[in-house]
Every structure is written in structure tokens, then in C-alpha cells.
Amino acid sequence: MSFTSQRGPFPQTRLRRLRANAFSRELVRENLLTPADLIFPVFVLEGSGEREAIPSMPGIERLSADLLLAQAKELHSLGVPALALFPVVGPEQKSLMAEEAYNPDGLVQRTVKSLKDALPDMGIITDVALDPYTTHGQDGIIDEAAYVLNDVTSEVLVQQALSHAAAGADVVAPSDMMDGRIGAIRSALEEASHPNTLIMAYAAKYASSYYGPFRDAVGSAGNIKGGNKFSYQMDPANSDEALHECALDLREGADMIMVKPGMPYLDIARRVKDELKAPTFAYQVSGEYAMHQAAFTQGWLAREPVMLESLLAFKRAGCDGILTYFALEAARALQ
């Protein structure tokens, strides 16, 4: 039987027409991923000339501030607008009250200053949470039962955020999930004459098991007292609650809201964008990165196209930007 001799009925609409050539595919392409969509999370260490591999995050290293600066320069030249800074501190800097978190001469504060001095145009985002600085690995101050105390923690977070702003951070990003901390930080920033410091709120942050490699990276993995963060991070079963969280953080003065993790929560990103119409970000977290790397290393998935497809998904879901450990590699690939 010959296919050419077939007679109708012909499809009224052939969606494949527009797919047949590169020019028409380009004309109708709805979303575009560029380096300007990316934020690179980085881990900073004390010292100079120091680099340490993170076994569960192949390709990502903890770097001392001097090496980080070299990396930041490359990111900047590739068009990546911002990086998100996470400290790795030794046990001698951890305590029950996390005093090191707001040390004006602490690792984060010094690193922010040196990055801003050398690269004033690069956006520097700092993490506001106590987990790198507590002996027990929880994001806040705990009571005897290891319950994280909301209002006491919030006061320490305010001090931490102020110290970051004073050091020159462009954006403070509370990732702790305490109630009311965005409002408290916003008022304190206003009072301290930092009216233009941005707040990117980890607004819908889930109690996810995808954070494992990050906890390895910052050295809080083994010692989370109580074993989980269920009493403050969100239940993965919930969706409406994410809208409630995001709306509250915006009302309290957040400039940008974030959904975290990323790929397993793209439904949340889309709902947040559709319902609130505010600048919306997502964090493709360490576990998502590790899964991809594992498959790439095994040769089970093709590195570059899969990486880019995973990031384009965030644009389709309505995100304005993506925190991703692929930022450097993706920005190189997108040149």
C-alpha cells in the first residue's frame, strides 16, 4: 500500500508545520533560558587557596574567598547576575545561641565585603539562617526538647541580616521558615538605614529529603538534633499553604519569593506566580543536582541537553530566576 495515494480526511490543523523548520520553531518559542535567569549558590571556607570537593555534589567545591572571587568574576563575565553565599565554619564557631552568625567580622561578612569591593555590579545574596552556626544543626535556637523557638530565633536572624546588610549584601535571603521574620528583618533594615536591601524570602520551603548533599557541604549533616525540620519547614503534601506563606512574606516586605526544592515543586511555582504575580524564584536544590550528576556520570543521561531542559522547566513554570548548582556550567553552555 502506498502512503501517497491515501485520501483525507486531512487534519484541519497540523501543529507539526511549525515544528518542521528551525526558523519557525524559533519564532513560536514561548520561553527562553539565559544566564540572566541564574543564581549560583556557593560555599565559602576560611583561608586562602583552599578548595575542598563535596563528594555528594560532584563538580561543586567549597572555596576560600580568594578562589571564590575568581569564580565570581567568571560568572559575572558570563552574564550570571548574582550568587548566593553559604558559609562552612568549623565546630569552634558553632554554639547554642549561634553568636557567630552576626559577627561583623565573620566569614560571610568579610566575604561579602571582598566580593563587593572587587565586583560591585555582581548581586550578592546571603543566607539568613542559623544552621551553619548551631551545634545541633537546626536553623534556630532550641529548647530542651530540641523545639526551635520562633521569636527568640527571629531576633537572632534580625541581627544576622543587619550584619549582612552592613557588610554590603544586596539581598538577604531568610531560609529559616520562622513566622514573622520577614517583617522583623524589614523593619530593622529600615531603622538601620538600609531601605534598599532586598529580601528574597524562602517563602515556601518544604521539609524535603532532597537537601542531603547540601547538609554534607556545610557540615551539618550528621548532627541535626531531633533528626528533621518538620516543625518549621512545610509538609510536602501541602499546596494552598505555600500560597499563604508567600502572601504573608510579601505583605511583610519581601521583594522576591522562593519555592524550594525546585523540580518536584514546579506545580507550586506555577500557582504562586499565577496567583500572586510577584517576582518568583525556585531553588533546584543539592539533591536534584546530585541526581543529575549521578546519571551523567553513569552515562545514563546526556549532560548538557538534560541540564538545560531541567532549567528551562522553571521558566515554563513561571519562575523569574533559578538558584542552581548548574549556573556556571549552564552559563558557559548558553554563550
C-alpha cell at 175: 531560609
Contact criterion met (CB below 8 Å) for 180 and 150: yes
Amino acid at 118: A
Is 211 a residue that touches ligand PBG (CB under 6 A)?
yes
Is 129 a residue that touches ligand PBG (CB under 6 A)?
yes
Q: Looking at 61, 100, 127, 252, which residue binds ligand PBG (CB under 6 A)?
A: 127
Catalytic residue among 94, 229, 260, 273, which?
260
Q: Looking at 102, 133, 214, 232, which residue binds ligand PBG (CB under 6 A)?
A: 214
Q: Which is nearer to ligand PBG, 1 or 246 (CB)?
A: 246
The C-alpha atoms of residue 294 and residue 291 are separated, in whole angstroms, by 5
The C-alpha atoms of residue 29 and residue 43 are separated, in whole angstroms, by 35
Taking the complex as a whole, the smallest distance from the CB of residue 173 to ligand PBG amounts, in Å, to: 9
User: In the range 268-297, which residues lie near ligand PBG by CB under 6 A?
Assistant: 285-286
Taking the complex as a whole, the smallest distance from the CB of residue 202 to ligand PBG amounts, in Å, to: 7
Residue 267, helix vs strand vs coil: helix
Q: Looking at 73, 110, 113, 215, which residue binds ligand PBG (CB under 6 A)?
A: 215
Catalytic annotation on 260? yes
Q: Which is nearer to ligand PBG, 73 or 155 (CB)?
A: 155
Is 40 a residue that touches ligand PBG (CB under 6 A)?
no
Q: How many residues touch ligand PBG (CB under 6 A)?
A: 12
Q: Does the annotation flag 30 for ligand binding?
A: no
> In this structure, are strands 171-174 and 280-284 parallel, antiparallel, or unpaired?
unpaired
Q: Looking at 175, 280, 293, 324, which residue binds ligand PBG (CB under 6 A)?
A: 175
Is 245 a residue that touches ligand PBG (CB under 6 A)?
no
Residue 119, helix vs strand vs coil: coil
Is 131 a residue that touches ligand PBG (CB under 6 A)?
yes
Neighbours of 318 (CB within 10 A): 17
Taking the complex as a whole, the smallest distance from the CB of residue 274 to ligand PBG amounts, in Å, to: 25
φ, ψ of residue 236 in degrees (nearest 5): -60, -15
Render 153-198 in DSSP notation, one character per residue: HHHHHHHHHHHHHHHT-SEEEE-S--TTHHHHHHHHHHHTT-TT-E
Helix axes 240-251, 266-276, angle to 10 degrees: 50
Catalytic residue among 73, 94, 113, 205, which?
205
Taking CA atoms, 144 is separated from 97, 139, 224, 225, in Å, by 13, 15, 14, 11
Is 56 a residue that touches ligand PBG (CB under 6 A)?
no
Neighbours of 241 (CB within 10 A): 14
Catalytic annotation on 116? no
Q: Which is nearer to ligand PBG, 78 or 157 (CB)?
A: 157
Catalytic residues: 205, 260
Residues comprising the binding site for Mg(2+)? 245
Return residues touching ligand PBG (CB under 6 A).
127, 129, 131, 139, 175-176, 211, 214-215, 229, 285-286
